[in-house]
Every structure is written in structure tokens, then in C-alpha cells.
Amino acid sequence: MRDPQTAARLMSREELTSQAAAVLSRLRGKSPRVHCITNSVAQNFTANALLALGAVPSMTLSGEEIGAFVARSDALLVNLGTFDRERREATSIAVDAASQNGLPWVLDPVFIDRAEQRAVYARDLILLEPKAIRLNAGEFAALSGQRHADAAPARETVEAYARARRLVVGLSGATDLISDGERTAAIANGHPLMARVTAMGCAASAIVAGCLAVEQDTLAATASAMLIVGIAGEMAAEKSQGPGSFAAAILDALYVIDAKMIDARGRTGLQR
Amino acid sequence: MRDPQTAARLMSREELTSQAAAVLSRLRGKSPRVHCITNSVAQNFTANALLALGAVPSMTLSGEEIGAFVARSDALLVNLGTFDRERREATSIAVDAASQNGLPWVLDPVFIDRAEQRAVYARDLILLEPKAIRLNAGEFAALSGQRHADAAPARETVEAYARARRLVVGLSGATDLISDGERTAAIANGHPLMARVTAMGCAASAIVAGCLAVEQDTLAATASAMLIVGIAGEMAAEKSQGPGSFAAAILDALYVIDAKMIDARGRTGLQR
Amino acid sequence: MRDPQTAARLMSREELTSQAAAVLSRLRGKSPRVHCITNSVAQNFTANALLALGAVPSMTLSGEEIGAFVARSDALLVNLGTFDRERREATSIAVDAASQNGLPWVLDPVFIDRAEQRAVYARDLILLEPKAIRLNAGEFAALSGQRHADAAPARETVEAYARARRLVVGLSGATDLISDGERTAAIANGHPLMARVTAMGCAASAIVAGCLAVEQDTLAATASAMLIVGIAGEMAAEKSQGPGSFAAAILDALYVIDAKMIDARGRTGLQR
């Protein structure tokens, strides 16, 4: 058994970029259906991000039909951005439908560091076995019961959490850290303007779900999604004058990004 | 009486473009109020499309006030994109208010091919006599009980349906097919990027409602709306690098489109 | 005591621009958290406007957690754009939390001229002492019981209303009029395209809340917000081909606007 203190294997740049190119190609070929339970702030941008990349989004929250939508989907996103009764009922039905149909699902525990009920709810959802969670440092701290809410957690902490929960953690930050506890990807792509557009993280989580629909290796799917989004962000920033033009440009970038761009731009970051 | 198997008269390019120019001019002159019951994914883009063209949107769903809003509007859109109790109650009150005030309304039966409850509900709504329905091939199949969900239905099938239900069908596709059973418009404008922006069809349906507010000939209004949207899509594609810039550019195009552009760009498509 | 008929002091261009520059600088330095109760049409654009300027938005409406969110915020926006039970419950809890924590809040009484229930509700909310209200001429008429709904009210009427209610009125129009009854700012910036993008006023109201979070002088905060938005609108129009590109460009402008641009472009309008 691996000592929990030992770092997981760090994935190489070549491994990550070739993986992402393969996942992207499959996603474009299969156009997977991704059902998204997400907040009303993020719905439009999330749907457009999935469409730009080549997936097919659906967004209904109605308890009467969400089971049927999920059953006909290839992956599910659960985003806590709006925390109301309707979405919790929808989540319960949707996660059930995903489990019964063997579909992967992703949890984005938005703002669980702002209200304790959210954190409690997110911890309960994790017992229902999402394949991956995508979140930021503050949300990770709220989830894992750590102190320093905004500082990036140590690599080992993320790896130990992933190993213990048997899921992939996709932690966004200056360097994205993605780990299942055995392997870790450290991605240095991205751009500060991504933090100036609402729903950017929500859209990234939806893209994780899209990649899970076409890639069984959860770590590969999650790391590929975050690499693609980070590179698209850099491409968009080069064509933008601010966050308004950036939001449009990143959708354009998700539409045109290909294996060559991924190989040319993908960067790994060293972690402690 | 006309034999149901006989094709309706196919409208000429000149008829369609001159009609659309006249409808557009009236819409800009009158700035009709269009109340929209639509899904939260589509609300913002739909409102912006109406504003860009010159109409005035409102979007409330509250049962307590939607009657008052519809009564002060010039047309109503009912879009099933979010299928929840709130929207069904709102729809019931709104359609009632439209009928009492003699206002035209349009049904967009979004995703009725993904959940049977939606199809049932849409069929019930059609009994309440919308002037027009705007939908894609899969939705038409679910509505009319046909088999091949994604293939474009035969022209005669669309015409027979329109005639039997006494409404105008606005079927979007590679060639848009608009018919009341007596006359048929086949419009070849549009661009593949339109399918890569969420809510594009929803916005088109709202524009149908806007045109109905200023044109009593339902077929003319529906065909004009779809011609205008298709041409705006082509204009936008010429200025776009992908779906993000396209979404902004089509709003710009709806703002500047005029009789000359409609005449220069309008194209009809031959149908079997 | 001042005679209620006497006009308030008209603020100078220099006073307004230097104030706005100072408020903007503080807002960028402090990144205040602004909780927004707003309609689903406006949520995404409002969040992006706050982020572009440098504030941090949150948008939850859930009664179970909105109190916690507001308590950790620096200001609150209450926008009536969607008038449903959920938002009224949320508003009640949120305004209470704002009062208990001494946070400023802003009311945007959207469309109260379209349904009487909204006007009644807005009048009740004003008794709970918002620091400022931001609205257009039709909404001001509905609020203050005036006749001519769409014509701009006389300056004295606005000033008298502000004085009587002990709040700041931020009235948008060809010339924006901002007054607490003692001082009045008349701002001539802005652009007609602002009326062609949905949620522009809602976003402006959120920016008023953002400025209130960093400026205790309510008139200065409100006038600064409206000056900044008006100038950003002019900057955006110069780079736009229509309302679609304009919506992106105004977010870019809010991101880059600085003291120099405010000083170069700020214009006051003379009022009777």
C-alpha cells in the first residue's frame, strides 16, 4: 500500500497534451450529450461552451423530466451555484438516473465557502460518488475542513483527499492541480481574464463532464478538459481588449482548438 | 376542397423578400411589445435579439402579474425550454390573456423529442390555437407522431399538419420550411454556426412573435421572421471567428439589416 | 430649513469626475462583494459588469442561505425584474440581513409601470430604507404617483421625492439626474445603444451598489456609478457595430476605464 504522504506520480507535458488531443478528437466525433444542473447565472455561457467545443447541452431542472433527460445523456454536471429546493430535488433524481445508467457525473461545489449549508450538502453529494470534482482553493478548504481558505492547498493534501474519496480532484488556480491520488497533473495554462468572466469555472466543469463522456480514465478526462480550457483562455486573451471580448473569444477558441495548438501551448507547472 | 396530398403553392423569392422588408419596416416603426415565456438559458439572448431588431421584450413568469404584462403586449411567445410548474401556470394565464385580448402567440416546443411529458403538453397547447409553431425536425416528429426523428419531414407532411391544425409551421433546417398548408416558403438562408449558439432557435421564435405583432398574415409574418434571422446569420458568419463572436455579430446584424440586404441575400430552396 | 420648492445645488463637472475617479480607485482596491437579487435575464450580464469593474458578485436567491451571503457582502442590490414568491422571500431576508449588518442596499424597481402589484411592492420596500433607487422615467412616475409616465420628470420633482424619502434617486435618461434633495448631479454621458442591450440598467444598479460599498456619501457613490457607466457606454459605442458587439465592448470599457478617461469624457447636462 502506498504511503499517504508520498506524492503521486507527476504526469509529463507530452502525456497530458497527447491525451487531451485524443479526448478532444473523440468529443468532436461523438458529440456527447451533457445534462447540466447549474445556476441561472451560468446556464447560457455553459451551454455555449459545450456547443463551441462540440458537445450537446441540456439544462432542464424539472423533477418531472430530468430523469428522462439524464437517461438519454452521456454525462451529468451538478453545479451548486444556485442552492434551492428545486435544484436539490433535481440533483437527487439526476444523480440517481446517472448511477442507474452508469453515467459519469461531475460536482462543482460553487461557493461552499460562503454558506455552511452548501458545504454540508456538497459533502453529502460526494458520498454518491461523483467521478470528479472541480473547484477552487477556497471551496477545497471548505470541503476538506482546512483552515487557510484562499491559499492553494499543498499538493499532498489534494492527492490524499482524492485517494481517500476515490475521485479525481480538479483544483483550479494559478497552476491547476488534477489528481486521483496516484497520478497528478499540474497545468500552468490559463489567463487572469478567466477570473473576470462569470461562470468560467462552471463552464470548465461542464467540459470536464463532456470529456468524461468520451474517456473512461477519469484523470485523463479531467486533466484534458482543464488543459483545453486553460489553452483556450490564453488564445482568447491574445484577441481580447477586456473581459467582454474575452468571453466571446474563449468560445471561438474552444471551437477552433486542435491537437496542434494543444501541443504548441500546453505547459505543466512544478508543484511542491 | 383541396386534396390533402396536393402540395401548397410555393412562394417566390421576390414575394418573400418584399414581404420581409415590409414587415421589418413596420416592426421598427411600431416597436411592438413581446412577452416571452422562455427558459432561463435563452432569456438574455432572446431579449437582446428582440431589442436589436427593434421590439421590446418582457420576460416575467410570475403568475400574479403575467396576465397584466401580456394584456399590455402585442404578441406572446411560449417556449417549453424549461418545463416546470411555474412556467406551466404562467403559460396557462398568459395564453388566456392573449386569447382575451386577441393577441397572436407562438409556440416553440423545445426538446419535446427528449421527454414524453413535454410532447403531451405541447400537443395540449396546440389545442389552444397558437398562430404559429417554430421547431426543428426532431421536435416536429415528436409532435406529429412520426418515426424518423432527425430527418427532415417531407414537405407534404408539414403542409398537411399545418392545414389540419390551422396554424403556420415554421420548421428550421438546412432549408427552412414555412407553411400554412396553402402556401409554402422554402428559405435557404442561414449558417451552420447558428447551431453552435444556444437559444438561437428560441430567439428566432421570439422574432416570429414580434413579426406577428405587426403583420396579420401569419404565414407572411413567420416566413419574414425566419428569412430575417437566416440572412442575419449569414451576415454574422462573415464577421465571426467562431460561435462566441458569432453570437454578438448576429445581434449586430439584426440591428442593421434592411430591405436592401434582404433583397440582395434572400434565397429560396427547392423542396421535393 | 430649505424651502422644498428650491432647487438643490447642482454639482460641477470637476466635482463629479474627481469623485468618480476616487470611488473607482477604491472599488478596484477593495474588490467589494455585492450580493444581487436580480432577474434571470439580467444575472449573467450583471455579474460580468461587476467583475469587469473589479467587484465580486454573488447571486443566490435561496432563502436558506441568502442571509449568510448578504452578511458576508459589502452591499446589496434588490432588482424587481422577476417578481415571484422566491425573490420576495429572498428580498425580505436579504434586506433584513443588510440592515442588521449596516450594509447599504439599492433598489431597482424594474417595470413597476407595467403591473400595479410591482409598484405597490416597490413602495413598501422603500419604507425599508434603501440608500438609493435607480430607475427610469416611467418607473419613477409609477413610484411617485405621477401622470406622464414616459416624459422625464422635472428636476424639482425628483429632488423633492429624494428629500422626502431620505434616499438618493438615480434617474436614467438622456440626461441622468441623481439627487438626494440637497445636491443634484446631471450627467450627459451615455449612448442610445445602451437601450438596445437588455439588463443595462440592472447592471448599472449593481454598480451603484458596488460604489456604495466603498463610498459612504450616497450621492457621490450613485453619481459616480452612473457617470462611470455612461462613459463606458460612450467608449463602447466607438468600438461597436451594433448592440451585440456593444454589450461585449462595454464590459471591456468597464475593465479599462480610469481617472484620465473619466476626466476627459465626463459631461454634465443643464437642467431646468
Average pLDDT of the residues in C104-128: 93
Query: Which of A47, A250, A256 is facing B198, going by the closest CB pair?
Result: A47
CA-to-CA distance for C186 and A177, rounded, in angstroms? 51
Contacts of C47 in chain A (CB under 8 A): 41, 198-199
Domains in chain B and their CATH numbers?
9-265 (3.40.1190.20)
Q: What is the C-alpha separation between C212 and A187, in angstroms, rounded?
A: 39
Taking the CA of residue C72 as centre, how many other CA atoms within 13 Å lie in the half-sphere pointing to its CB?
14
Rounded Cα–Cα distance for residues A121 and A109 (Å): 9
Using DSSP bridges, classify how beta strands B105-108 and B56-58 pair: parallel, antiparallel or unpaired. Answer: unpaired
Which range has the worst mean pLDDT, A114-128, A137-151, C95-109, C159-173?
A137-151
Task: Give me the residues of chain A with pLDDT under 70, please.
Answer: 1-6, 147-150, 271-272
Contacts of C247 in chain B (CB under 8 A): 48, 248, 251
* Nearest chain B CA: its distance from C249 CA (Å): 10
Query: Which residues of C are less than 8 Å from A117 in CB distance?
Result: 64-65, 68
Closest CA to C219 of C52, C116, C104, C100: C104
* Distance separating alpha carbons of residues A169 and A181, to the nearest angstrom: 9
Q: What is the ipTM of this complex?
A: 0.94
Query: What are phi and psi for residue B165, nearest 5 degrees?
Result: -90, -5
pLDDT at A135: 96
The pLDDT value recorded for residue C45 is 98
- What is the distance between the alpha carbons of residues C160 and C5, in angstroms, rounded to a whole number? 8
C-alpha pair distances (Å), C85 with each of B86, B119, C63, C89: 11, 28, 11, 6
C166 HSE (CA, 13 A, CB side): 3
Q: pLDDT for B240-251, tens place per residue?
A: 999 999 999 999
The single residue listed with the C-alpha cell 499540474 is: A186
Interfacial C residues in 79-108 facing A (CB < 8 Å):
86
Out of A41, A83, A116, name the one closest to residue C44 (CB): A41
Please tell me which residue of chain A has the smallest CA distance to B247: A248
pLDDT tens for each residue of C177-213: 999 999 999 999 999 999 999 999 999 999 999 999 9
Each residue's pLDDT tens digit, B61-97: 988 899 999 999 999 999 987 777 888 899 999 999 9
Contact B258, B208 (CB under 8 A): no
Bin B197: left if φ > 0, else alpha if -120 < ψ < 50, else beta. Answer: beta
Q: Does the CA dihedral A250-A253-A255-A260 come out positive or negative?
A: negative
Whether the CB of C45 is below 8 Å from some CB of chain A: the reply is: no
- Model confidence at B272, pLDDT cuts 50, 70, 90, reads very low
Residue C272 has pLDDT above 50, yes or no: no
Q: How confident is the model at residue B160 (pLDDT cuts 50, 70, 90)?
A: very high
Q: Are B226 and B232 in contact (CB under 8 A)?
A: no
Separation between Cα atoms, residue B120 and residue C177, nearest integer Å: 52
d(CA B102, CA A2): 74
pLDDT at residue number C1: 44
How far B252 CA sits from the closest chain C CA (Å)? 4
Give strand ranges (E) for chain C. Answer: 9-10, 33-37, 56-58, 75-79, 105-108, 132-135, 168-171, 176-179, 183-187
Structure confidence by residue, pLDDT tens digits, B178-197: 999 999 999 999 999 999 99
Nearest CA in chain B to A73: B114
Mean of the per-residue pLDDT values of chain C: 94
Q: Which residue in B has a C-alpha nearest to residue A252's C-alpha?
A: B242
CA–CA separation, A219 and C61 (whole Å): 34
DSSP string across B130-150: -SEEEE-HHHHHHHHT-S-SS
φ/ψ of C173, rounded to 5, equals: 175, -165
A203 at C interface, C-beta within 8 A: no
Q: Which chains touch C (3 or more CB pairs under 8 A)?
A: A, B
The helices-and-strands tally (H runs, E runs) of chain B is 11, 9
- Residue B115: the pLDDT is 84
pLDDT at residue number A86: 81
* Residue C121's pLDDT band (cuts 50, 70, 90): very high
C41 vs B: CB within 8 A: yes
Burial (CB count <10 Å: 0-12, 13-18, 19+), residue B14: exposed
| Distance spanning both ends of chain A, measured CA to CA | 23
218-247 in chain A: CB under 8 A from chain B = 239, 247
| Residue of chain B with shortest Cα separation from C113 | B69
